[in-house]
Structures are given as structure tokens and as C-alpha cells.
Structure 1
């Protein structure tokens, strides 16, 4: 069921890529496939055929071209597995991360699970499949209190040395912080922090908003997996 949910999220998810560096000379940067937006004329025929298969009326963005991109984001996904995030909430969080890992495959990623403690499941830049990440999260038992501050500190360590413009933390939590120091000061030390706030049960909307504000990001409330795709797409477009 959780894998199916991850696939549902992934099908609806569209995370914008980092902006192109228009100062790059021809042949510089990483060659990637991307939807046509009026720029490159280097058609990726194989990917285009995959996208339009079964579509009677393909649209412009279904055409896939090759472009050179100089920038890669470094993203740390911080996932709440404390006692308040058990059951359906934990499965939705795991499915969300599994889908997002696939969508951000060209970026450098890390995944941190946290409760009163925290564990780095995937280190920044480590290559791992979306389903493998999902399975790792599902094996972490929901437990204990919620120490958001320590989780953000661990995330910040993963991003040490990364240029601020390319460093980003995404927190998936109900923000019911009940262990450790006030996390607002730690959020302010990050280059950018966005909060995907689970509001399906007990949650702290004020803290979620404060964390995003301190981290120069945005807070997006979600109730279940059907809200996740739109929320994530909006976060990465901002």
C-alpha cells in the first residue's frame, strides 16, 4: 500500500529544476533531459517517445530535450518518525520521501529520520533508489518524543560547505516539538528550510510557520498523500 501511495505521489509530482546558468558556454555543465520550454532544440527522442506513449494529443511540455545545467541543489529531507507520526501519517511521510527522491534524482540528497534522536539514513550525494529509501524509512519504528532542533542540526551538518544558494532542508513533520531546545534558532542557521506540515491530527501550525519563516522558506500544510504532490511542487517553485 505504501509503495502504491509513493507511485501515486510521484506521478503527480513535478519539481522544478534549478535555474539554468545562461552564462555557461556551449558544452559546459551537466547534460540533462528536460521538458521543452522554448530553449534547446536538441531533441531527446527516446524520452519523448516514452512521455507521449498513449497520449492522443501530446502537449508542448511532453517534448523532452537535452540541456546543460551547471547547478545542482543539495537537499536534506528530514522526516519525523516520532510517536505522534505513527500509522497512516508515517506511511504517508515514507511515501512522500520515496517519491521525492525519484524526482530529485539529479540533485545531491540526504535523508534524516528523527524522533527524540536522529539518524542519517542516506548521506548527502549517496546514490540510492527511491524504493530503497522508502523501505529504510518503513523499518525505522515510530518512537519517542519529537526533537526538531536536533534533527535540523543534523541536517545542517550534512550541508556543511555547500553554497547557500544550493542548500535546502525540507522538514516533514506535525511540528509537535516536545524535546530539546526551541528549534527556531536552529532553523535560522540554515540557508533555507521549508516545512511540509502534517495537519491530519495533532499539529503545531504556529511552530511550523515560525520554522519556515526563520529558515527563509515556506510552510505548506497537508492532510494526506493527495495533498503532497501539489505542496512539494509549490515549495520547489518558490
Structure 2
């Protein structure tokens, strides 16, 4: 591998044609993928989220006495909702998707990658989402937290030609910068790649700098399973093997369940 550092390149504009059959296939796959949306749910992931005072809805028995007394002072005949309790409220997730579009990803593999981005963009629309496509360089398709249509993210990805070598370190570095201001507890990067790293510096130290790194390791062709597992371990995340687009949804569900 080389020690060259990548560069950020602009996303091709809409004048670049996208094969309508490729787009249709990617959207078809994306429609079948699902990841649970962020929501307040005190029965799952207990202890996760910010402690907030909210009206009683039958779940929590941790009464906020000060707030409840304030409410009852104005409402001598209280309803259940006038009792204020403390609950863990799930906070917004910050997720940066890193999608390998290098020369080692072609055909169905890039369509599966595009479909994964489309599905996550749709399911995470209430969260902060960033999308970075990479090869030896990288293109920022969506800055973390920007409002975007899933179809636009998908089309932007499909306008990028499969090219160049694979520099895994550079997108990890970019993701760390985007996630720098996000709460560590709910921040992560997800790497979708075959992890055949053949350009740029050793990516392992960059994985360790992320709040969390999960790896979707595409093994439908040439791949480096050992590196994929090492990156996930350094990033305190999971590595899941992806043989086809059908493996994506359960892998993502396992990652977000933690």
C-alpha cells in the first residue's frame, strides 16, 4: 500500500446520466431494507438516552416531585398526565455511512451499496446522517445532519464511477471530523467495503479514533476479512459479513440493537 493521503473531490452534477435499470434495481432493493427508527422507548435500551421530565404515560414510576407539585398547584383535580416522571429519552443518532466505490466494487456490489445508502437515508431521516463515498479519494454525498432526499443520495452515489484503488483510512478520518461534535454515545460510522485496502496509510489507528465503527464486509468477491474484523474491533463495533443485499438488513439491525 502507499502512504498517500486522499483528497475530497466534488460529486458529479446531474448532467451525468444514471442507468435507469441500475437505479430501478437499487431502489427496489432499498425498499426492502429496514432499520428501526429512533424513538422514545423506555422498555428497550434501558439506561440509554438523556434523563428528561415528561408527563406520566404508564411506564416510569420515577416521579419528578418538584415538577409535579408545580403542575398540581394549577390543577387541583389532576389527570394522570399531570404527574411528571423522569424517563430516559432516546437521543438523536449521528451516523456517517462510508461506501466503497473503488475499482474493487463493481456491478451488483455497487448496486447493493447504493441500495444500503438509500434504505438507511430513508430510515434515519429523523437522525443526523452523513454519507461519504470513497475509493483512493472521497466524495461527501451528504454532510452530517444536512437535509436530503434519499433518492438524491442514491442518485449521487450512482453518478460516481467505480474507479481507483481503495483507501480505507481517508473516509475514516473524514467521518471522525464529522462526528467530532456529536455525543459519543449515539455516534458511529458504518463502513461498507470489501476492505481490500491498497492505498493510503494504515486505517487501524483511524478506526480507533471513532466513537464507534461497524463494518459491513462485502465478501461477494475479493475481500480482506481479517482487516474488516480488526477495524471493527478497534472501533468498538461489529463486523458482519455481507454476501448479498439480503444480508444487509439483519446486519444493520444487529448493529443498531447495541
Q: TM-score range by the shorter chain?
A: 0.7 to 0.9
Is the Cα–Cα contact under 8 Å of residues 2 and 95 in structure 1 kept in the other structure?
Answer: no
Alignment of 1:106 onto 2:126: yes
142, 159, 162: which is aligned to 1:142? Answer: 162
Question: Aligned ranges for residues 127-138 of structure 1 at < 5 Å?
Answer: 127-138=147-158
- 1:235 deviates by 1.1
Is the Cα–Cα contact under 8 Å of residues 9 and 225 in structure 1 kept in the other structure?
Answer: no
SS in 2 for 1:212: helix
SS in 1 for 2:121: helix
Task: Provide the residue aligned with 1:182 in structure 2.
Answer: 202
Normalised to the residue count of structure 1, the TM-score between the two structures is 0.79
Task: Provide the residue aligned with 1:208 in structure 2.
Answer: 228
- Tell me the C-alpha RMSD between the 2 structures: 2.2
Is the Cα–Cα contact under 8 Å of residues 50 and 88 in structure 2 kept in the other structure?
Answer: no
Alignment of 1:230 onto 2:230: no
Separation in 1, partners of 2:28, 2:145:
23
- 1:25 deviates by 1.1
- 1:110 deviates by 0.6
SS in 1 for 2:52: coil
Separation in 2, partners of 1:185, 1:91:
30
Normalised to the residue count of structure 2, the TM-score between the two structures is 0.73
How many residues end up aligned between the 2 structures? 202
Task: Provide the residue aligned with 2:116 in structure 1.
Answer: 96
Separation in 2, partners of 1:205, 1:234:
19
The runs of 4+ residues in structure 1 deviating greater than 2 Å are 1-12, 14-23, 67-70
- 1:130 deviates by 1.0
Task: Provide the residue aligned with 2:175 in structure 1.
Answer: 155
- 1:129 deviates by 1.1
Is the Cα–Cα contact under 8 Å of residues 174 and 203 in structure 1 kept in the other structure?
Answer: yes
Unaligned runs of 5+ in 1: 28-37, 41-66
Task: Provide the residue aligned with 2:53 in structure 1.
Answer: 25
Unaligned runs of 5+ in 2: 1-21, 40-44, 61-86
Separation in 1, partners of 2:89, 2:184:
18
Larger Cα Rg: Structure 1 or Structure 2? 2
